[in-house]
């Protein structure tokens, strides 16, 4: 500790300037720190960081002069913002249009019970100001769109993608390519997360070579299948998983900014920031949290990714992507990512409202019927309609495929106690999407006996059950 204290004292012995500088002055002093000197309060706050080998006073000045945009104030954005603010980034912009909810708090550690209902952006900034009042915090309490993305992102040196959907991820990456901004992107769901640094150092669109850093489209040319695109609200999320990814994002951002890797080649007058010198093998970091194991609860894997792709839609040599086109709706990100919607449109006679089902059941009209609940077992465990049998949708589809492939009796997909009867079948899921597909599959397997047997979807699923029948039902 003696050595560290001596280094700190030596750093602090330099002359300081009086008064607080605004974010604008920080920006004017240049990415490499310029002639600005650290203030006493900054020495006290950042000294333990500055004495780390490789950081020093110059690295800290670069952080203070940097502007970081965090898109998403949720499970990734909260821990990322805390460490970015703690490190002393001069200006921090935060984009998010949602409000804080009780279900967020187990992982979104920048919010609190007292701030439930507040805009997430304002809640997180209030938390960050208590942690470090020195940075300038800029709120954007609305969603990022193709129309406003370029105007917002253009004001920052580095972007942190802390969102939870492919549509926004592709939009952010495209804008970062066109504006020459490095991007630190992460994602997490259930028990796993991933992290990748993109477009760093920034390279002009169309300049293609294996040594240049890729963009998001280079690594993920096509979005994931619509059926796999589920939110944390649908699939669940472990707080430590998303927290780990958010902290890792902050670490990468600090490293990039402190070493000036965010400076585009054309602005690097010292010629010390060339892709040939600084670009390492692009790596996708995958983190897995084993909830079922008492020993070895987590693991990291690093997958090597290629450099820029010559035929990439966004950064390739023949790319026609432009800021003007994005604002005008080209490309159509929603269509490209094929946001999941029900591919089945059942006729009215094959659907029933939750209230109508409840009334028919209570009146005795449905005393003999089969009710299949296709929610995952974790959702089902919190509560269900009396008499429901749980067949998770993923297992339901596997059974249906096996029956078609092997020629097994179609009745094997039904609960064992249902036998070969012609009892009506009702299907319910979480929100009324999976259940429609399940009804269609049951009919395809011939279980409707050529229209003689009734197979019906409960509209709106258990969400509608809570709204129309039982307000106390623990819908999750």
- Residue 123 annotated as binding? no
In a domain, 18, yes or no: no
Check whether residue 98 and residue 210 sit in a common domain. Answer: yes
Whether 179 and 280 map to the same domain: the answer is yes
Residues 284 and 387 occupy one common structural domain = no
Structurally, how many domains does the chain consist of? Answer: 2
Query: Is 315 annotated as belonging to a binding site?
Result: yes
CA of residue 300 relative to chain centroid, distance: 19
Which residue in 342, 474, 365 sits closest to 426, CA to CA?
A: 365
CATH number assigned to the domain comprising residue 381: 3.40.250.10
The pLDDT of residue 96 is 96
Same domain, residue pair 103 and 191: yes
pLDDT of residue 269: 53
**100 and 72 share one domain:** yes
pLDDT in tens, 11-66: 444 333 222 333 333 344 444 444 578 888 999 999 999 999 989 999 999 999 99
The reported pLDDT for the residue numbered 235 is 60
Q: Is 200 marked as a binding-site residue? A: no
Could you tell me the CATH number of the domain that includes residue 325? 3.40.50.720
Residues 342-382 pLDDT 10s: 456 788 889 999 999 999 999 888 878 999 999 888 788 88
337 marked among binding-site residues: no
Q: How far apart are CA 112 and CA 127, in angstroms?
A: 9
176 is catalytic: no
Structure tokens at 418: 């249902």
The answer to whether the annotation marks 120 as part of a ligand binding site is yes
Instruction: Tell me if 80 sits within 8 A of 247, measured CB to CB.
Output: yes
What is the span of the domain harbouring residue 172? 40-264+276-338
Answer yes or no: do 316 and 397 share one domain. Answer: no
Q: 78 a known binding residue? A: no
Q: Is residue 20 part of a domain?
A: no
Q: What is the pTM of this model?
A: 0.72
According to the model, what pLDDT value does residue 456 have?
94
Same domain, 313 and 364: no
Mean pLDDT computed over 321-339? 89
107 is in an annotated binding site: yes
Is residue 325 domain-shared with residue 358, that is, in the same domain?
Answer: no
Give CA angle at 174 (252, 200), nearest 5°.
30
Q: How high is the pLDDT of residue 344?
A: 64
Domain assignment of residue 60, yes or no? yes
Task: Check whether residue 326 and residue 364 sit in a common domain.
Answer: no
Cβ 137 vs Cβ 129: under 8 Å: yes
Does the annotation list 176 as a binding residue? no
Q: Which of 78, 162, 232, 337 is catalytic?
A: 232
Q: Is residue 28 part of a domain?
A: no
429 catalytically annotated: yes
How much is the pLDDT for 249? Answer: 97
- Residues 277, 223: contact at Cβ < 8 Å? no
pLDDT at 291: 65
Q: Each residue of 292-313: pLDDT tens digit?
A: 655 565 688 888 888 889 999 9
- What is the reported pLDDT for 283? 86
The answer on 292 and 314 residing in a single domain is: yes
Q: Which residue has the tokens 């010292």?
A: 270
| Cα of 184 vs its chain's centroid, Å | 12
Check residue 245 and give its pLDDT: 92
Average pLDDT, the chain: 83
Q: How many CB atoms lie within 10 A of CB 332?
A: 10
Is residue 10 in a domain?
no
pLDDT at 365: 86
Specify whether 388 is located in the same domain as 454.
Answer: yes
Catalytic residue among 162, 176, 200, 429: 429
Identify the residue whose tokens are 């979104």: 108
Dist. CA 36–CA 50, nearest whole Å: 16
215 is in an annotated binding site: yes
165 annotated as ligand-binding: yes
- Residue 104 labelled as part of a binding site: yes
Summarised one tens digit per residue, pLDDT across range 258-282 is 987 777 655 555 555 544 445 566 8
pLDDT (average), residues 134-142: 97
Residue 159, pLDDT > 60, answer yes
The helix/strand/coil state of 189 is: strand
Q: Does some domain include residue 145?
A: yes
Q: Say yes or no: 310 and 249 in one domain.
A: yes
Is residue 474 assigned to a domain?
no
Q: 343 in a domain, yes or no?
A: no
Q: Six-digit token pair at 323? A: 């800021």
Percent of the chain at pLDDT > 70 equals 82
pLDDT digits (tens, 9 = 90+) for 171-180: 999 999 999 9
Q: What confidence tens digit (pLDDT) does each residue in 227-250 have?
A: 555 554 556 778 888 999 999 999
Ligand-binding site membership of 219 (annotated): no
């Amino acid at each position: 500790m003696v050595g560290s204290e001596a280094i700190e004292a030596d750093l602090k012995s330099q002359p300081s300037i009086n008064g607080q500088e605004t974010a604008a002055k920080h920006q004017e002093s240049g990415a490499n720190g310029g002639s600005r000197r650290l203030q006493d309060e900054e020495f006290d706050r950042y000294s333990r960081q500055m004495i780390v080998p490789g950081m020093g006073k110059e690295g800290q000045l670069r952080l203070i002069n940097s502007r970081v945009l965090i898109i998403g104030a949720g499970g990734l954005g909260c821990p990322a913002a805390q460490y970015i603010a703690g490190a002393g980034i001069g200006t921090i912009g935060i984009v998010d249009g949602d409000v804080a909810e009780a279900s967020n708090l187990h992982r979104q550690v920048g919010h609190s019970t007292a701030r439930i209902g507040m805009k997430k952006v304002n809640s997180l900034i209030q938390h960050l100001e208590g942690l470090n009042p020195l940075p300038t915090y800029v709120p954007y309490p609305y969603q990022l769109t193709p129309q406003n993305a370029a105007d917002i992102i253009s004001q920052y040196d580095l972007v942190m993608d802390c969102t939870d959907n492919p549509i926004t991820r592709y939009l952010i990456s495209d804008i970062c390519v066109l504006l020459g901004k490095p991007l630190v992107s992460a994602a997490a769901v259930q028990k796993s997360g991933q992290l990748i640094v993109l477009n760093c150092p920034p390279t002009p669109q169309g300049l293609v070579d294996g040594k240049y850093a890729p963009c998001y489209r280079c690594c993920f040319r096509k979005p994931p299948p619509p059926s796999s695109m589920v939110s944390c609200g649908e699939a669940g999320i472990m707080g430590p998983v998303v927290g780990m990814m958010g902290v890792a994002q902050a670490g990468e951002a600090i490293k990039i900014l402190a070493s000036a890797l965010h400076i585009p080649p054309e602005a690097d007058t010292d010629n010390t920031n060339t892709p040939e010198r600084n670009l390492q093998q692009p790596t996708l970091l995958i983190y897995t949290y084993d909830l079922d194991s008492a020993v070895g609860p987590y693991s990291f894997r690093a997958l090597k990714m290629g450099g820029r792709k010559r035929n990439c839609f966004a950064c390739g040599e023949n790319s026609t992507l432009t800021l003007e086109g994005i604002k005008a709706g080209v490309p159509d990100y929603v269509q490209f990512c094929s946001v999941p919607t029900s591919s089945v449109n059942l006729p009215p006679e094959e659907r029933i409202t939750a209230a109508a089902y409840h009334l028919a059941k209570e009146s005795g009209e449905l005393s003999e019927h089969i009710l299949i609940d296709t929610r995952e077992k974790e959702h089902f465990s919190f509560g269900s309609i009396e008499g429901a049998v749980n067949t998770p949708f993923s297992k339901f589809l596997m059974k249906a495929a096996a029956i078609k492939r092997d020629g097994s009796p179609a009745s094997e997909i039904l609960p064992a106690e249902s036998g070969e009867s012609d009892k009506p079948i009702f299907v319910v899921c979480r929100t009324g999407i999976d259940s429609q597909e399940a009804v269609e599959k049951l009919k395809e397997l011939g279980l409707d006996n050529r229209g003689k047997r009734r197979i019906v979807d409960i509209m709106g699923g258990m969400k509608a059950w809570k709204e129309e029948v039982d307000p106390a039902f623990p819908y999750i």
